[in-house]
Copies of this chain bind each other. A is one copy, B any other.
Amino acid sequence: MELLKQRIRRDGIVKGNDVLKVDGFLNHQMDVALFEEIGREFLRRFEGCGVNKILTIEASGIGIACITAQSFHCPVVFAKKSQTKNIAGQVYSTKVESFTHGRVYDVMVSRQYLGPEDTVLIIDDFLANGAALEGLIHLVEQAGARLAGAGVVIEKAFQPGGGRIRARGIRVEALARIKSMSEEKGVEFAD
């Protein structure tokens, strides 16, 4: 998605060789006009897949998921990083390791909002190590729902998550795939 790559080149800030800060438009301040273009692009890629529910994870996936859901005319469910006690049996849950925050979260979705009747598109802002995405896939599996695939805005293609998940036969669409990056040379895209 050319518009997105241009925006990453213009406003993304590379720290070291593996941190890309896109705080200015994607995951702290959010450019909703850009999100509308992102949502339309996800629809273009997943149109006709029968998606009736979008699944994301708090917090930074929620805005992108909601605006994408407008294109799909379906609701969003966001997986919660659990802080409150949940009564066993009422939720699907899994563990997700956050490399950014150096901890493991319990992540859960109420059984009421995901089930065998659903065809799910997973949406998230970043794909790197793949932990969050694998957690969401695990929730979809627990629900017995059909998985149409996953749409991520930015994939760090030099990290192993995308390759590992695609090797399972799961469709993963990334709107910008980064091959490498450095403070000196900036971002190099994979395609």
Contacts and interface: CB of A to CB of B under 8 A. Distances in A.
B77 A32 contact: no
Interface in A43-67: 58-59, 62-63, 65-67
B83 A101 contact: yes
A36 B65 CA distance: 14
Interface in A1-49: 23-25, 28-33, 35-36
Counting contact residues on chain A (CB < 8 A from B), the size range is 35 or more
One complex includes copies of this chain to the number of 2
A33 B100 CA distance: 33
A113 to B, nearest CB: 4
- Report, nearest first, the 10 A-B pairs whose CB atoms are least far apart: A58-B59, A63-B66, A29-B113, A62-B62, A59-B59, A30-B76, A32-B69, A29-B77, A83-B101, A62-B63
Interface of A: 23-25, 28-33, 35-36, 58-59, 62-63, 65-67, 69-70, 73, 75-78, 80, 83-84, 100-101, 103, 109-110, 112-113
13 contacts: A23-B112, A23-B113, A24-B112, A28-B80, A28-B110, A30-B77, A30-B78, A32-B66, A32-B70, A32-B75, A63-B63, A66-B67, A84-B100
